[in-house]
Chains A and B, each alone.
Chain A
């Protein structure tokens, strides 16, 4: 009777209904989120519930890919609960992020990078300080179902000498995965780690070339090279025998891994001079040398309250504890650069 519900109109009506429902859901979610973040800061005297006294705003954080899990799943909810600011993050390789920030493609408030070398090019235009606060190190992750798994396991728990790992990696048919040294610091770190191992264990001088499959270490043309996003998933799906990884990455993704000694794993600030001896020449003739895998944090551009709160939180006892739980080492936080430019709330956190 009612023409709207006539048979032949049913698909159109269904489509309209779905569209309306989607619209309603969109409206209600935006109103609810604005309700939670739209509360104005009230004076302490009139504050009743703690949530209504929390400030509003968003902090945009650009972080190195290895910090993705930690930031998105651990730090972000805790930070928002403690401080009220919302967290909006994007992860990519530190080198990409530095290039994007420099060119204006992205404008984050906070930049967390692996290796200060990715922050120094941004000085002094975007910032002139950074704080080293956490560290990670290289390991070799392996596929527990690989046919070489028993050997990997033996090396990992010490029953086989670690130096045999590098002979094992040369086995033809063993599928090793790593990332592009031109675009991903981890790609370079892996090569530097191999060079350090070759020296440390007095291995034949062509060991690294044989493992990488090419004498041109900085080349991107190798069938071992995967995009960062592809490497872990390919290892997880069992299509690789071994892959480069940071210890923190391996812990987060529950990958089996072989820990490496500090002399070669780029994880100790004390061995920085040693690490520097390993070099990789990438495209454009640029030579990069090994450096300790320290995580650095800085604020890009004019510090916003949300950005300051985030850096302060990250460097607080609670924040650092989250990093420790994720497998990071915690050296003493050190300011590199112009200490006077560091916002006082942050430097007080360090001093305290």
Chain B
């Protein structure tokens, strides 16, 4: 298990995070750019000096600022870090890159096996400069795996790769992590990647962990308005003595009072989005964006939608239960 409790000073704020990841568990660390996600991974890898920290991996203490003070150097931590730039050594062939780690086994069979699992067996004699983005990532992954790391940290590794490649790599990493039973953390600012990969999702903003939980829980029941904003809730509509969070993809056309909060408002704009439509609705002084299956009436018309079981937030921004919010029946049209 990876147990990290760190405080790292950055220029504008301090990254203060405490989390545990079980062996074989996949944690996604999600947050906007500059939230401190990379800093956390670098602290675990031993590449930055935390102000205060206690990092334990398995039964080894990697970093401790409290006595007994301990700071294991990066080359002894057995922490695997895969970054956005795969960092292949340009002067070594793919095979030499993959077998780089001193602890990496040399037996040809094991290397060949891993290479075929990763789909790079035809590339072993090539030089890194000739590889495509996806191939380079797979080689870097193989390099980490052969190095027998006790934990796998992935820092936005799929940026710039197309969707199918991301899916493929995500599945690959997931299966390998499960097979080796190592704790792993994926840092990403793409929610879809986080959800595809993770057993648990952690939301980080300005150095603070805002919420940790199962991905669907975090998305459907964000703990605060800020989490909701980060996750993709675009509209916040006053409802009773609370505010309801509206996620564009949790809206259906029509009124279904038993399925959530109904809103009636004026269509401001409607445009195609993906295989459906996106409409901006003016409701109670707020503009709400909705993803709909069919085209909304033209701008200016009145339109009613239902937000399926939205989260509610009190005046302090924290989530409150629907009942305390005054239920779903209140029509915010009263608050024009």
Q: Do chains A and B touch in the complex (CB under 8 A)?
A: no
Interface residues of B (CB under 8 A from A): none
